[in-house]
Structure 1
Amino acid sequence: MSIGYVNGRFVDLNEPVIPIDERGHQFGDGVYEVIRVYNKKPFMLREHLERLQTSAEAIKLKLDQTLEQYEQLIKEAIEKSALTDCDVYLQITRGVAVRNHLFPDVSVSTTMTVRPAKQLPHHLRENGVSAIFHDDERWANCYIKSLNLLPNILAKQTAHEKGSYEAILVRDEYVTEGSSSNVFIVKNGTIYTTPLSKHILSGITRMAVKSIIETEGLTLVEEKFTKEDVLESDEVFITSTTSEILPIVTVDGQKIGTGKPGEIATTLYQKFQEKIANE
């Protein structure tokens, strides 16, 4: 069953628990992680929590638990839910205090939900999905996994309204990432992805895919690329915790490669599933 957690106690998801002066609600003053659980085991949990810590430090938010304590809390929540495959959403905010821009001297607030995993329809993975290009209108520090996601939401909604799955964001003529994913392209057997910077999130699935590419002896180049590079590529795919590895077969209505999921994306997805099983 789906369950929630708020500052030390597990709650029903329908129970009203967020105070009106919660800073996450009023300012988006917090950070979060989404962790996929396969067969009751959270995938790359330590890497998620290390990124959570990095995000918290970047916004000067002092976590009130160690990473080991968060690990145990998440595992306890998964056990209580009795779910086998699920998504864990962990959110830490600066706490509850009368609205003021300055940091309050209060305890941080920790909330969490455990829900059944969002399963991607099989036909989307088998046939690939479409995407659009969209101006990257986000702030300068996208490496922080903060609660401030309005530009991402607007880009994703625009893609949806145009019948597409994802919006590929472009800043200063170069692709940064998707609205909720990292972007890879393939040209002549070489895989390219945008290098890490303050303008993109260091995706956990991106990290896993890099490891698989190295293990398989494939070539990965981390360098900037343009919209034209995307359209002229042989394959395009995105990575994220919930989408895993997903081929993009059209962008702005233009066919990518053969217009079908490519060999490299398909192979990487198979190897990703093996990595999940092994871990």
Structure 2
Amino acid sequence: MAATVYLNGQFLPLDAACVSVLDRGFLFGDGVYEVIPVYSGHMLRGVEHIERLGRSMDGIRIDHPMSRAAWLAMLEQLIERNGGGDQAIYLQVTRGAPPKRDHAFPPAGTPPTVLAMSNPLAPIDEAWHRQGAEAVTVPDLRWQRCDLKTIQLLGNVLARQQAVEQGAVEAILLRDGQAIEGAASNLFIIKDGAIHTTPKSAAILGGITRDLILELARAEAIPVREEGMPEALLRSADEVWVSSSTREIVPITRVDGQTVGEGKPGPVWQRMHAAYQAFKQKVREGKA
């Protein structure tokens, strides 16, 4: 079945959806986005994703083009038009396409460009669950509002490419002696049975999956520490994980070529992976 996208109020075949070359997303990276996983036709925390989209739009001063209820209704139609099942929704809002290129905001009344598309959700590499994955560390060169999920991702792209070129699945970003997060993920360090993760601030993107992991961890009575994570803690970790909406919780068993803990997915990850899969099953059944 040909993919269907939503663009500025219309559902269209993917190859018929076009935007102006004057669109500020194309010219300036002036926009925000979300990625929402879908299981058996049900969005995982769709409301929370739309609320974060709203915070990102507020942060860069884009007017909201529709209400939360309208967003959710449109996305449910998109899921249905793309066959239901397991999907990954990409949702993007830019400041629109004014008559000319100018760094200043366009004239009042310029409508935002709204795009939503969906692809089959890629299966997670089971080798990661059996033996873990590798990450590298790189300097964090991004701008200072990482809490806004903007489409200007060049710093993240270059960091992830460096990881790929070194045979790793993710780049862990270091800034001022602290381990911050991944290029496209949140970071967790496990030490002496406790989960450590960077607290929410302008330094990180507050992940929806991150919040869910912490919620599930507390339900499992696993200690959680939301505080700064010195690089030394990363180097001495018992376990390291990264998380994202489409990759869930990935155990990292090598960092910069050095073995983490016992070199295999650890016991805290095993507990959290099981809890996460149980939550996903509730999503599939429309119960979460």
Matched, 1:120 2:121: no
2:164 equivalent among 160, 165, 171: 160
How many angstroms does 1:118 deviate by?
1.6
- How many matched pairs? 279
TM-score, normalised with respect to structure 2: 0.95
Distance (Å, rounded) in 2 between the aligned partners of 1:144 and 1:20: 24
- For residue 266 of structure 1, report the CA deviation from its aligned partner: 1.6
Partner of 2:285: none
Number of the residue aligned with 2:254: 250
Matches within 5 A, 1:178-257: 178-257=182-261
Q: Answer with 111-120 or 33-42: which moved more.
A: 111-120
* Structure 2 unaligned blocks of 5 or more: 283-287
RMSD of aligned Cα (Å): 0.9
Match runs of 1:138-153 below 5 Å? 138-153=142-157
Instruction: Indicate the SS of the match to 1:153.
Output: helix
Name 1:85's counterpart in structure 2.
Answer: 86
More moved, 191-200 vs 11-20: 11-20
Calculate the TM-score normalised by the size of structure 1. Answer: 0.98
2:185 and 2:9 map into 1 onto residues whose CA distance is 31
Which of 259, 265, 275 is the matching residue for 2:279? 275
Q: After the TM superposition, which segments of 4 or more aligned residues of structure 1 sit over 4 Å from their partners?
A: none
| Structure-2 separation of matches of 1:51 and 1:118 | 23
Contact 2:7–2:17 under 8 Å retained in 1: no
Q: 3-state SS of the aligned residue for 1:199?
A: coil
Residue 189 of structure 1 and its aligned partner are, at CA, apart by: 0.7
How far 1:16 sits from its partner (Å)? 4.9
Q: How far is the alpha carbon of 1:83 from its aligned partner?
A: 3.1
Q: Which amino acid aligns with 2:97?
A: V
Mapped to 2, the partners of 1:242 and 1:154 lie a distance apart of 20
Shift, 1:125, TM fit:
2.3
2:132–2:252: 8 Å Cα contact kept in structure 1?
yes
| CA offset digits 1:218-247 (Å, max 9, x no partner) | 100011112221121100001110110110
1:101-154 alpha-carbon deviations (Å, 9 max, x no partner): 111130111001111002122112221100000000000000000011000000
1:103 matched to which residue of 2? 105
Counterpart mapping for 1:64-79 below 5 A? 64-79=65-80
Q: Counterpart of 1:61 in 2: which secondary structure?
A: coil
Letter paired with 1:120 = I
Tell me how far apart the structure 2 counterparts of residues 123 and 13 of structure 1 sit (CA, whole Å). Answer: 33
Q: Select between 30-39 and 266-275 the one with higher mean Cα deviation.
A: 266-275
For residue 13 of structure 1, report the CA deviation from its aligned partner: 1.7
Give the distance between the partners of 2:4 and 2:168, measured in 1 at CA: 31
Answer yes or no: is 1:50 the counterpart of 2:48: no
Structure 2 Cα separation of the partners of residues 16 and 211 of structure 1: 39
User: Match of 1:14, SS?
Assistant: helix
CA distance in 1: counterparts of 2:17 and 2:50, whole angstroms: 27
**Aligned AA (2:140):** D
Determine the C-alpha separation between the residues in 2 that align with 1:251 and 1:114.
33
Paired residues of 1:28 and 1:147 also in contact (CA < 8 A): yes
Does the aligned pair in 2 maintain the 1:3–1:115 contact within 8 Å? no
